[in-house]
Amino acid sequence: MDDAVRSLSETRATIATARSVVVKIGSSALTSMESGIDLRALNALADAIEARMRAGSDVVVVSSGAVGAGIAPLGLTKRPRDLATKQAAASVGQLALAHAWGTSFARYGRTVGQVLLTADDIARRTQHRNAQSTLDRLRALGAVAIVNENDTVATTELRFGDNDRLAAMVAHLVGADALVLLSDVDGLYDGDPRKGGATLISEVTSPEDLDGVVAGSGGALGTGGMASKLSAARLAADSGVPVLLAAATDAADALTGAGVGTAFAARPTRMSARKFWVRHAADTRGGLHLDAGAVRAVVDRRRSLLPAGITGVDGRFYGGDVVSLFGPDGSPVARGVVAYDSTELGEMLGRSTVELPSELQRPVVHADDLVRL
Ligand SMILES: Nc1ncnc2c1ncn2[C@@H]1O[C@H](COP(=O)(O)OP(=O)(O)O)[C@@H](O)[C@H]1O
Ligand SMILES: N[C@@H](CCC(=O)OP(=O)(O)O)C(=O)O
């Protein structure tokens, strides 16, 4: 480890030396309303990413900017608000964006592959695994994956909502050691920096560091603003991936030394892929209502859920689906993979395991498939 890395905090040193990195670039840093893609900015980003790859890291790029890149070519003057025009702009812009990344990395003889994902792809376990294999294979072949949401097919319900969240999901999907969010702002401030008087926060190590922080909306081209970056940083950190939020114009510094921007510490142990999927990615198909004893067993004592503590079943689901678990007051306390169909559970409710036939004696939700909220 060189001296520069040694003098950084542990979180920054981890990001600076991470073997596998997801780099997310926001629309505001890559595109403008008047002229679409900013090729100079994109080339500078590709330079910084290529340098990091040559230093031995694998990099996956999550690139926003499809809608932003489609505005000028379609003769529009502002970011569209309605879904159909946004999707039309994205279809024009994504083509230009992927082409621009391809041309830029070609300067180094590096190939790029386009990976467009919807939230549904991450929520369904087989698609999730397929996306994982594609990203792994691209990496193994030395190509850079350029990931974006599949905007032209993602409907309101199936959207990630913002690419910060998508990037945090991808970081977990590829087992990244660090996530770098590059934007038009040089880090997290305690208030909206556009309003003046705000102070840069250099490091976030616990939720208390965010007390009093006002995360405002984004620019004219950005989607989620600072609130979505904070929630993505929390999601990544919660799953064991440290995050650096920095300005895209500082990409070279962010990717070589990690000495700029705001660093978010990760929790020490990485959540298993299965638990991450249950907690953050999977759609829930129904719910189980628990009595107070079952909530104590599942939440406090980390036990499996047995039929005796279940008082009600919501919705129709099948064994293997993810369901929500609710406490006696109706608030969600956990999520987990259910072992039985909703129709089977009806007769099992409230009964102790020994009273049930042997084929119904497995826990309803096994402790290994259960995440507390
Ligand atoms: N507390 C805050 N700290 C930093 N930036 C903030 C804050 N609140 C609001 N912002 C604004 O969030 C913007 C970045 O969000 P956004 O436009 O969605 O970026 P991107 O396109 O990179 O995803 C910045 O331009 C900044 O003005
Ligand atoms: N998928 C959209 C990006 C949406 C988005 O999250 O944008 P941003 O807040 O700039 O990261 C696009 O490419 O335009």
Give pLDDT tens digits for 275-317: 888 888 778 889 999 999 999 999 999 999 999 999 999 999 9
Residue 226 annotated as binding site? yes
Question: Which ligand minimizes its atom distance to the CA of 191?
Answer: 1
Is 283-372 in the same CATH topology as 3-275?
no
Determine if ligand 1 sits within 6 Å of the CB of residue 262.
Answer: no
Which CATH class for the 283-372 domain?
mainly beta
- Atom 2 in ligand 2: residue holding the nearest Cα: 64
Given this model, what pLDDT does residue 148 score? 96
Closest atom of ligand 2 to 160 CA is: 6
C-alpha 243 – ligand 2 centre gap (Å): 18
For ligand 1, mutation pick of 184, 230, 243, 262 (most atoms within 8 Å of CB)? 184
Taking CB atoms within 8 Å and a gap of at least 24, the contacts of 255-258 are: 255/21, 255/23, 255/48, 255/49, 255/51, 255/52, 255/180, 256/16, 256/48, 256/51, 256/52, 256/55, 257/4, 257/5, 257/8, 257/12, 257/16, 258/8, 258/12, 258/13, 258/15, 258/16
Residue 190 annotated as binding site? no
Given this model, what pLDDT does residue 71 score? 94
Burial 77-97 (b: 16+ CB within 10 A, else e): eebbeeeebbbbbbbbbbebb
Angle CA(208)–CA(213)–CA(214) in degrees, nearest 5? 150
3-275 to CATH, choices 3.40.50.620, 3.40.1160.10, 3.40.50.150, 3.40.190.10: 3.40.1160.10
Q: pLDDT tens per residue, the chain (373 residues)? A: 555 565 679 999 999 999 999 999 999 999 988 889 999 999 999 999 999 999 999 999 999 999 999 999 999 988 888 889 999 999 999 999 999 999 999 999 999 999 999 887 877 777 778 889 999 999 999 999 999 999 888 766 557 768 999 999 999 889 899 999 999 999 999 999 988 889 999 999 988 899 989 888 777 766 778 999 998 998 898 889 999 999 999 999 999 988 999 999 998 887 887 788 888 877 888 999 999 999 999 999 999 999 999 999 999 999 988 999 999 999 999 999 999 999 999 889 988 888 888 888 889 999 989 999 8
Average pLDDT, the chain: 91
Domains of the chain by residue range: 3-275, 283-372
Determine if ligand 2 sits within 6 Å of the CB of residue 64.
Answer: yes
C-alpha 15 – ligand 1 centre gap (Å): 22
Determine if ligand 1 sits within 6 Å of the CB of residue 180.
Answer: no
pTM: 0.86
Given this model, what pLDDT does residue 195 score? 87
Given this model, what pLDDT does residue 354 score? 85
